[in-house]
Chain A
């Protein structure tokens, strides 16, 4: 199935550091979503972006909808151990119906 390019694939960081990850595509998207998934659970919505150029924050998380509508990034500031998990981007395309395409995920590990 189709998946978005997400990078990095994984990262180890020290507690307190800032983290940045991004998602790119050759297609234009109407909406970008960012999710976090813990082992054995479903993805949990972090941030939703609806307009090109939009910058939205949720606590220590900030995400932006790229101007070209083909990319998005997520920043986490001052990481803490509970930030560990897999982060997925998802872009919405219109193909007669609304459908979301997910990224391949960024696995984050935070070292205390």
Chain B
């Protein structure tokens, strides 16, 4: 049982480039979400999904796209990277509604946009 896994661990992009951060979980959790953490701050919700085929926006969704074609995977796409997107990105999953159930987090992806 690997829990929540994220790839890559580190990434450097140039402004305007696009990329996809991968997230997978093997706990058969319905809910998955993406957060970003900026220096000295708590985590802020980007997008979340309540099940395969269903996604919704969080606090800071601009510049990011998500899709959920399977229960296990929830990739986060940066369409045109900007320096303001330099951050650490965490993926999380839970059995059901993240407002109600315990959340489990992946190890994070540290992204730098030059």
Do these two chains really belong together in a complex?
A: no
A contacts, CB < 8 Å to B:
none
B residues neighboring A (CB under 8 Å): none
